[in-house]
Amino acid sequence: MNYIFHLLIMIEVYTILALSLNLVVGYTGLLSLSHASFYGLGAYASTLLMINVGFNFFPAMICAIIITAAFSLCISYPALKLRGDYFAISSFAFQIIIFGILYNWVDLTRGPYGIAGIPRPTLFGLKIDSLQAFFTLTTLITGAVVFFKYNLYQSPFCTVLKAIKEEEQAVISMGKNVVGFKILAFAMSSGVAAIAGSLYAVYITYIDPTSFTLDESIFILTIVLIGGAGNFKGTIVGVFVMLLIPEILRFIGLPDSIAHYLRQIIYALILIIIVRFRPWGIAGDKELGSV
Amino acid sequence: MDEVLALNNVSKSFDGITAVKNVCISIKKGEIVGLIGPNGAGKTTLFNLITKTHQIKPDAGEIRYHSHKINGMSDYQIARMGIGRLFQDVKIWGSLTVMENLLLARADTLKENMAYRLLFPKRYREIKEKNTKEAEKWLAFVNLEEYKTKKAKGLSYGQQRLLGLARLLCNNFELLLLDEPTSGINAVMVQTILEKIQSLAQWGKTIFLVEHDMDVVKQITSRVYFMDNGEIIATGKPDEILSNPLVKEIYLGC
Amino acid sequence: MILQLLVNGIITGSLISIMAIGFGIIYSTTNFFHIAYGSVYVVAAYIMHTFLSWHFPFIISLAMSLFFAVVIGVLIELLVYKPLHKKRAPQGIYLISSLGVYILMINITALIFGNETKLLSYGIEKSIHFGDVILTKIQIAQCVTFILLSILSLFFMHYTRIGKTIQAMGCNARLLEFCGVNLQKLRFIIFAIGSFFAGVASILTGLDVGIDPYMGMIPLLNAVTAVILGGIKRIEGIIAGAFFIGITQNLVIGYLSGRWESVVTFSMLILFFLYQSGGIIKVKKRAEEL
């Protein structure tokens, strides 16, 4: 039973991550390879605020959202004025930079040793300690995020993003600040990733840089692509598919060392095959899909 | 009369190749002015310079809109000043519905502001209603009401042009730059579009259009500029220009 | 110490140059980021390792490794990118596929060979002293190879028919197609050349510091940075970019710490974007405008 709860909590964390990345990749049409770095920034920011400054979980999470969104400007501000593929490559570089900082700034982040003993959140004086209580908390937060995203996707703001993805010139010619829209969408997406990061940190109570690598970014990207870029329900399907694959491999009973590589190989094959044959995703809408 | 658009000695070259050279143009309010010339004369580049499409800026000279200097502004600010553009390939948003296309084109940006939507739901709804009303008005103007909820890419080419035009009107632009509004459209539809353009001019909109079809030019423009190799060679009434021997030689090859 | 750092910088720059010239040829013509380039780099080193472990002579192992690097590069083009050309897929699709190929190849390599560092050469290299500066034989080989390859590639690009066609493809591929050039054949040649360079860079690095399955990412990003800093089209520029990165990295290692090497390099890339905003776009948009 605990195993199921653990799996559900992780599915919720990844739902938040995938929905937020979808705003950028699916709706705005920007290829971001740095989502795990924002996930990590969120986790580290809220952890450090809780441990070093003594913040409570919720204020720490809100600060982490703001900090992470601000960091997203490092990529979006310089790169968005340039060619589309420069955005992808800057995000790629940013992922390496953030990993390098988390790994090497030992004084602040304890580097490769990671930070252990992250306090569990308390809510109205109630310590959320049991798995069930934690599941309730993540479900509530995920529910809020899903609700927010669902409304966002119906809003005129998102219509502009879709239009940008389709005919950027026409949006500019209507007097809209396209670069501004993209920067805002990217910041929102990064901020939401910080929520997932904060939840992950207080759930596992231990973080280290290896949870936020390029592989992780690609993993989240694969979820989005499986679900279909710009597709809401598809993203959630994608989360289930991608998170259940390793569990299935585990049941087959492969040794851990092989299973790790095999998992990556499967993800890579999925990625290649999806963009080749179904760029709009397994569950996606053909008209909206494709990056 | 009021001068809407003025180009003074505008030049642009790409890697040493001159695309636009010392162009001077002056357009007054309510005029329909044509820009003609052979392919590759630099007509679209000139439009791009005015709207700063693809971020291209003039190397020399200035562009004024209602006596405000606009070269130096960013692309979307130029559009906000009131200069609308219909692209040669229309550039409608195909995956959005016809109505969404029009609502998106509305000029006020508050409707896209998430915070505003949450903080002032009542004002937001008012804006939304006003926008819908305005969009429906222009939808009726171009006779596309029945396609309101259809995806825009399902429209015929001519209808897409009309939608493009309606989009410009929805935004309330004052100066419309139309890049070949009638190319690739059947004759009946051409007449519809021309009628719309003419009635717009009567309402005080200023129209500057690139056109290849000389019948169209004769029918609606009051004045044309003839452009060749990046330079304005002649300007005047359409009949005069089309009978100008130099123009005939370059354009009609006779 | 500064002299030693500069010399080290030049050696690093040589290695980055080799990698970057190959990447640059592919990027300037196909216009997408060939991330799988990093996996060609890794696989080449492992093929070298395999042949050496089967007790083949050094030269044959080297030749086989380069040969297979070229074959793999061309196969990636044939199996992954060619179908995408046919569909006229957008750039993002190429990038994602390329990323997929990269992960696939890296993990297959790791599955077969394990993820610990392996050595290509055994025994400590004898070092040679020039005054205060210490060099190893391999480092000298790296420099010499770089000089030979750069002269060769400059000559190739400027004075041979194929080289000129490749340059023209970078400017306007469509036009070439109208002129009756077989673009697909040209692409195979480009990928062959590029992968050859990756193989050379990989073996020269492997001989010096050993190999592991994850060795490809940092050289790849160094190459990308060099190509972008140096201006995509010109080999001279790419080399200048590579040396700039190599020397900066070694100064960082010398005065700060080796740990910050990659952070500094890629921050330079992002700062360059910040500085450049607008500068590059003009050149790129020209073709559509005229």
List, as one string, the DSSP characters of chain B: --EEEEEEEEEEEETTEEEEEEEEEEEETT-EEEEE-STTSSHHHHHHHHHTGGG---SEEEEEETTEE-BTB-HHHHHHHTEEEEBTTB---TTSBHHHHHHHH-S-SGGG-HHHHHH-HHHHHHHHHHHHHHHHHHHHHTT-GGGTTSBGGGS-HHHHHHHHHHHHHHTT-SEEEEESTTTT--HHHHHHHHHHHHHHHHTT-EEEEE---HHHHHHH-SEEEEEETTEEEEEE-HHHHHH-HHHIIIII--
Report the number of distinct structural domains present in chain A: 1
> How would residue A156 be classed by pLDDT, with cut points 50, 70 and 90?
confident
User: What are the structural domains, with CATH classification, of chain B?
Assistant: 3-91+174-252 (3.40.50.300), 93-154 (no CATH)
Please, which residues 108-137 of chain C have a Cβ atom closer than 8 Å to chain A? 108, 110-111
DSSP C124: P
Query: CB-based contact (8 Å) between A187 and chain B?
Result: no
H/E run at residue C127 = strand C127-130
Asked if residues B235 and B35 have their Cβ atoms less than 8 Å apart, the reply is no
d(CA C5, CA B38): 61
Distance from CA of B41 to the nearest CA of C (A): 10
DSSP lists the bridge partners of residue C130 as C133
Of residues A283 and B214, more confidence is placed in: B214
Report the number of distinct structural domains present in chain C: 1
Query: CB-based contact (8 Å) between A221 and chain C?
Result: yes
**Mean pLDDT in chain A?**
84
In tens, the pLDDT along A120-149 reads: 877 777 777 778 888 888 888 889 888 888
Report the half-sphere exposure of B231 (CA within 13 A, side-chain side): 6
pTM: 0.85
Q: What is the per-residue pLDDT for C122?
A: 62
In tens, the pLDDT along C228-260 reads: 888 777 888 888 888 888 888 888 888 877 778
Identity (one letter) of the amino acid at C193? I
How far, in Å, are B10, B224, C56 from residue C114 at the CA level?
A: 65, 74, 22
H/E run at residue C129 = strand C127-130
Q: A163 lies in which domain range?
A: 2-212
Q: What is the per-residue pLDDT for B77?
A: 87
Across the interface, do C111 and A262 touch by the CB < 8 Å criterion? yes
Query: CB-based contact (8 Å) between C267 and chain A?
Result: yes
Q: What is the per-residue pLDDT for C123?
A: 58
> How would residue C285 be classed by pLDDT, with cut points 50, 70 and 90?
very low
Across the interface, do A172 and B76 touch by the CB < 8 Å criterion? yes
Asked if residues A26 and A288 have their Cβ atoms less than 8 Å apart, the reply is yes
pLDDT at B254 over 80: no
Please, which residues 95-134 of chain A have a Cβ atom closer than 8 Å to chain C? 96-97, 100-101, 103-104
Q: Which of B51, B65, B75 to probe the A interface (max A CBs under 10 A)?
A: B75
Q: Which of A96, A213, A254 to probe the C interface (max C CBs under 10 A)?
A: A96
**Mean pLDDT in chain C?**
83
B168 to chain A: nearest residue by CA? A174
* Nearest-by-Cβ selection for B55 from C281, C288, C290: C281
Of residues B236 and C124, more confidence is placed in: B236
Chain A residues whose CB is inside 8 A of the C96 CB are 31, 221, 225, 271, 275, 291
Q: Which two tokens stand for residue B86?
A: 């219909």
Asked if residues B192 and B224 have their Cβ atoms less than 8 Å apart, the reply is no
Chain B residues whose CB is inside 8 A of the A174 CB are 79, 84, 104-105, 107, 167, 171
d(CA B76, CA C37): 39
Chain C residues whose CB is inside 8 A of the A271 CB are 96-97, 99-100, 103
Asked if residues C290 and B14 have their Cβ atoms less than 8 Å apart, the reply is yes
Q: What is the per-residue pLDDT for A80?
A: 76
Q: What is the per-residue pLDDT for C124?
A: 61
H/E run at residue C283 = helix C279-289
Across the interface, do A100 and C262 touch by the CB < 8 Å criterion? yes
Q: What is the per-residue pLDDT for B154?
A: 86
Minimum mean pLDDT among A125-129, B203-207, C6-10, C46-50: which range? A125-129
Q: C107 lies in which domain range?
A: 2-289
- Flag whether A111 is in a domain: yes
Chain B residues whose CB is inside 8 A of the A176 CB are 76, 79, 109, 112
Across the interface, do A174 and B109 touch by the CB < 8 Å criterion? no
pLDDT at C286 over 70: no
Minimum mean pLDDT among A76-80, A121-125, A220-224, C33-37: which range? A121-125
pLDDT at A66 over 90: yes
Percent of chain A with pLDDT strictly greater than 90: 13
- Give the ipTM of the model, two decimals please: 0.86
In tens, the pLDDT along C24-61 reads: 888 888 888 888 999 999 999 999 889 888 888 888 88
Across the interface, do A268 and C104 touch by the CB < 8 Å criterion? yes
Q: Is the dihedral of CA B64, B65, B69, B73 positive or negative?
A: negative
Q: What is the per-residue pLDDT for A289?
A: 45
Q: What is the per-residue pLDDT for A227?
A: 79
Query: CB-based contact (8 Å) between B54 and chain C?
Result: yes
Q: Which of B53, B54, B55, B179 to probe the C interface (max C CBs under 10 A)?
A: B54
pLDDT at A206 over 50: yes
Among A287, A223, A255, A274, CA closest to A14: A223
Distance from CA of C274 to the nearest CA of B (A): 17
Asked if residues C26 and C186 have their Cβ atoms less than 8 Å apart, the reply is no
* Nearest-by-Cβ selection for C93 from A78, A265, A275: A275
**Mean pLDDT in chain B?**
84
DSSP-derived 3-state class of residue C128: strand
B41 to chain C: nearest residue by CA? C290
Measured CB to CB, residues of chain B less than 8 Å from chain A are 51, 53-54, 75-77, 79-80, 84-85, 87, 91-96, 100, 103-105, 107, 109, 111-114, 117, 151, 167, 171
Neighbouring C-beta atoms of residue B188, cutoff 10 Å? 8
Mean predicted confidence (pLDDT) in B45-66: 86
A291 to chain C: nearest residue by CA? C92
Mean predicted confidence (pLDDT) in A186-190: 91
* Nearest-by-Cβ selection for B14 from C278, C281, C290: C290
Distance from CA of A272 to the nearest CA of C (A): 5
Identity (one letter) of the amino acid at A176? K
Chain B residues whose CB is inside 8 A of the A173 CB are 51, 53, 75, 79, 84-85, 87, 91
The CATH code of the domain that includes C142 is 1.10.3470
Q: Which of A21, A97, A101, A105 to probe the C interface (max C CBs under 10 A)?
A: A97
Mean predicted confidence (pLDDT) in B75-85: 87
Mean predicted confidence (pLDDT) in A280-291: 53
Query: CB-based contact (8 Å) between C285 and chain A?
Result: no
Q: What is the per-residue pLDDT for A38?
A: 94
> How would residue A281 be classed by pLDDT, with cut points 50, 70 and 90?
low
B113 to chain A: nearest residue by CA? A157
